[in-house]
Amino acid sequence: MRILAISGSLRAKSTNTALLRAAASVASSSIDVVLYLQMEELPPFNPDLDLEPGPEAVLRFRAALRDCSAVIFSTPEYAHGIPGSLKNALDWVVGSGELSGKPVALLNASARGEYAQAALRETLRTMDARVISEAEITIPLLGKWLGASEIAADPEFAGLIRCSLQRILNQCVKSSVVL
Protein backbone atom coordinates (compact mmCIF):
# COMPACT_ATOMS: atom_id res chain seq x y z
CA MET A 1 0.00 0.00 0.00
CA ARG A 2 1.26 3.47 -0.89
CA ILE A 3 0.66 6.40 1.46
CA LEU A 4 1.44 9.91 0.23
CA ALA A 5 2.89 12.05 3.03
CA ILE A 6 2.31 15.80 2.73
CA SER A 7 3.93 18.36 5.01
CA GLY A 8 2.32 21.75 5.37
CA SER A 9 5.74 23.28 5.97
CA LEU A 10 8.23 24.45 3.38
CA ARG A 11 11.04 24.85 5.96
CA ALA A 12 14.15 22.80 5.25
CA LYS A 13 14.36 21.64 8.89
CA SER A 14 10.63 21.30 9.46
CA THR A 15 9.57 19.18 12.42
CA ASN A 16 6.45 18.20 10.48
CA THR A 17 8.49 16.97 7.54
CA ALA A 18 10.82 15.13 9.94
CA LEU A 19 7.79 13.42 11.46
CA LEU A 20 6.67 12.26 8.00
CA ARG A 21 10.19 11.07 7.17
CA ALA A 22 10.17 9.11 10.42
CA ALA A 23 6.85 7.56 9.38
CA ALA A 24 8.46 6.45 6.12
CA SER A 25 11.36 4.86 7.99
CA VAL A 26 9.28 2.95 10.57
CA ALA A 27 6.53 1.78 8.21
CA SER A 28 6.07 -1.96 7.86
CA SER A 29 7.13 -3.65 4.64
CA SER A 30 3.51 -3.67 3.45
CA ILE A 31 3.34 0.15 3.58
CA ASP A 32 5.30 2.47 1.31
CA VAL A 33 5.25 6.04 2.65
CA VAL A 34 6.22 8.47 -0.12
CA LEU A 35 6.92 12.11 0.72
CA TYR A 36 5.52 14.80 -1.54
CA LEU A 37 8.28 17.42 -1.62
CA GLN A 38 7.20 19.70 -4.47
CA MET A 39 4.74 21.96 -2.64
CA GLU A 40 6.71 25.10 -3.47
CA GLU A 41 6.44 24.29 -7.21
CA LEU A 42 2.65 24.66 -7.23
CA PRO A 43 1.57 28.02 -8.64
CA PRO A 44 -0.95 30.13 -6.74
CA PHE A 45 -4.39 28.67 -7.39
CA ASN A 46 -6.20 30.47 -10.19
CA PRO A 47 -9.41 28.98 -11.64
CA ASP A 48 -8.45 30.51 -15.01
CA LEU A 49 -5.40 28.20 -15.08
CA ASP A 50 -7.35 25.12 -13.95
CA LEU A 51 -7.92 23.93 -17.52
CA GLU A 52 -6.63 20.90 -19.43
CA PRO A 53 -3.81 20.20 -19.46
CA GLY A 54 -3.02 22.70 -16.67
CA PRO A 55 0.27 23.59 -14.99
CA GLU A 56 2.79 20.73 -14.98
CA ALA A 57 3.36 20.91 -11.19
CA VAL A 58 -0.39 20.61 -10.61
CA LEU A 59 -0.59 17.58 -12.92
CA ARG A 60 2.23 15.90 -10.96
CA PHE A 61 0.51 16.66 -7.64
CA ARG A 62 -2.80 15.28 -8.84
CA ALA A 63 -1.08 12.15 -10.18
CA ALA A 64 0.67 11.59 -6.84
CA LEU A 65 -2.70 11.76 -5.08
CA ARG A 66 -4.36 9.42 -7.58
CA ASP A 67 -1.52 6.90 -7.30
CA CYS A 68 -1.77 6.44 -3.54
CA SER A 69 -4.12 4.48 -1.32
CA ALA A 70 -4.16 7.07 1.47
CA VAL A 71 -2.65 10.40 2.49
CA ILE A 72 -1.09 11.55 5.74
CA PHE A 73 -0.69 15.23 6.54
CA SER A 74 1.49 16.94 9.12
CA THR A 75 1.32 20.70 9.27
CA PRO A 76 2.39 23.59 11.45
CA GLU A 77 -0.12 26.11 12.66
CA TYR A 78 0.09 29.71 11.48
CA ALA A 79 -2.29 32.26 13.00
CA HIS A 80 -4.68 29.48 14.09
CA GLY A 81 -4.83 28.01 10.60
CA ILE A 82 -2.99 25.95 8.03
CA PRO A 83 -0.13 27.48 6.04
CA GLY A 84 -1.06 29.15 2.78
CA SER A 85 1.08 26.74 0.74
CA LEU A 86 -0.93 23.75 1.98
CA LYS A 87 -4.25 25.49 1.44
CA ASN A 88 -3.10 26.42 -2.05
CA ALA A 89 -2.25 22.79 -2.82
CA LEU A 90 -5.65 21.66 -1.58
CA ASP A 91 -7.39 24.34 -3.66
CA TRP A 92 -5.82 22.80 -6.80
CA VAL A 93 -7.64 19.50 -6.17
CA VAL A 94 -11.05 20.72 -5.01
CA GLY A 95 -12.55 20.60 -8.49
CA SER A 96 -10.59 17.63 -9.81
CA GLY A 97 -11.53 15.48 -6.82
CA GLU A 98 -8.38 13.44 -6.13
CA LEU A 99 -9.13 13.53 -2.39
CA SER A 100 -12.79 12.57 -2.74
CA GLY A 101 -13.28 9.32 -0.83
CA LYS A 102 -9.53 9.06 -0.17
CA PRO A 103 -8.58 7.90 3.36
CA VAL A 104 -6.53 10.57 5.14
CA ALA A 105 -4.96 10.89 8.58
CA LEU A 106 -3.49 13.84 10.40
CA LEU A 107 -0.20 13.60 12.26
CA ASN A 108 0.58 16.47 14.57
CA ALA A 109 4.07 17.44 15.71
CA SER A 110 2.83 19.77 18.47
CA ALA A 111 0.03 19.73 20.99
CA ARG A 112 -0.33 23.45 20.22
CA GLY A 113 -1.41 22.79 16.62
CA GLU A 114 -5.06 22.10 17.44
CA TYR A 115 -6.49 24.99 15.42
CA ALA A 116 -4.57 24.00 12.28
CA GLN A 117 -5.64 20.38 12.76
CA ALA A 118 -9.28 21.43 13.10
CA ALA A 119 -9.05 23.71 10.04
CA LEU A 120 -7.35 21.00 7.95
CA ARG A 121 -9.86 18.38 9.09
CA GLU A 122 -12.76 20.65 8.10
CA THR A 123 -11.22 21.44 4.70
CA LEU A 124 -10.59 17.77 3.98
CA ARG A 125 -14.10 16.75 5.00
CA THR A 126 -15.51 19.50 2.80
CA MET A 127 -13.48 17.99 -0.05
CA ASP A 128 -15.10 14.59 0.74
CA ALA A 129 -11.88 12.98 1.99
CA ARG A 130 -12.39 10.12 4.46
CA VAL A 131 -10.68 11.41 7.60
CA ILE A 132 -9.60 8.46 9.74
CA SER A 133 -9.85 9.99 13.21
CA GLU A 134 -8.61 6.84 14.96
CA ALA A 135 -5.33 7.16 13.02
CA GLU A 136 -4.70 10.75 14.14
CA ILE A 137 -1.75 11.17 16.48
CA THR A 138 0.04 14.00 18.23
CA ILE A 139 3.72 13.58 18.96
CA PRO A 140 5.09 16.38 21.17
CA LEU A 141 8.13 17.44 19.16
CA LEU A 142 7.90 21.21 19.68
CA GLY A 143 11.25 22.52 20.94
CA LYS A 144 12.95 19.11 20.87
CA TRP A 145 14.75 19.71 17.56
CA LEU A 146 14.67 16.04 16.61
CA GLY A 147 15.32 14.85 13.10
CA ALA A 148 13.59 11.94 11.41
CA SER A 149 16.14 9.37 12.62
CA GLU A 150 15.82 10.51 16.26
CA ILE A 151 12.02 10.43 16.05
CA ALA A 152 12.11 6.95 14.51
CA ALA A 153 14.60 5.75 17.15
CA ASP A 154 12.34 6.79 20.03
CA PRO A 155 10.33 3.66 20.95
CA GLU A 156 7.28 5.63 22.09
CA PHE A 157 7.18 7.88 19.02
CA ALA A 158 7.87 5.00 16.61
CA GLY A 159 5.13 2.96 18.25
CA LEU A 160 2.58 5.74 17.88
CA ILE A 161 3.50 6.21 14.23
CA ARG A 162 3.32 2.48 13.47
CA CYS A 163 -0.07 2.27 15.17
CA SER A 164 -1.35 5.18 13.07
CA LEU A 165 -0.08 3.63 9.84
CA GLN A 166 -1.61 0.26 10.76
CA ARG A 167 -4.99 1.90 11.38
CA ILE A 168 -4.79 3.53 7.96
CA LEU A 169 -3.92 0.17 6.39
CA ASN A 170 -6.82 -1.50 8.21
CA GLN A 171 -9.26 1.13 6.92
CA CYS A 172 -7.95 0.76 3.38
CA VAL A 173 -8.19 -3.03 3.47
CA LYS A 174 -11.67 -2.83 4.97
CA SER A 175 -12.83 -0.55 2.17
CA SER A 176 -10.68 -2.32 -0.49
CA VAL A 177 -8.77 0.76 -1.66
CA VAL A 178 -5.25 -0.68 -1.38
CA LEU A 179 -3.09 0.12 -4.40
DSSP string covering 32-47, please? Answer: EEEEE--GGGSPPP-G
Mean pLDDT along residues 19-34 = 97
> Is 80 exceeded by the pLDDT of residue 179?
no
pLDDT band at 178 (very low <50, low <70, confident <90, very high): low
pLDDT in tens, 121-130: 999 999 999 9
The count of domains in the chain is 1
Residue 89 domain-assigned?
Answer: yes
CATH code, domain carrying 23:
3.40.50.360
**What is the domain extent for residue 154?**
2-174
Whether residue 95 lies inside any domain: the answer is yes
pLDDT at 7: 98
Separation of alpha carbons 167 and 29, rounded Å:
15
Cross-strand pairs, 131: 104
* 79 assigned to some structural domain: yes
pTM of the model: 0.95
Domain annotation covers residue 179: no
Q: Which of 42, 7, 41 is nearest to 24 (CA)?
A: 7
Question: What pLDDT, on a 0 to 100 scale, did the predictor assign at position 144?
Answer: 86
- CA–CA gap between residue 124 and residue 128 (Å, rounded): 6
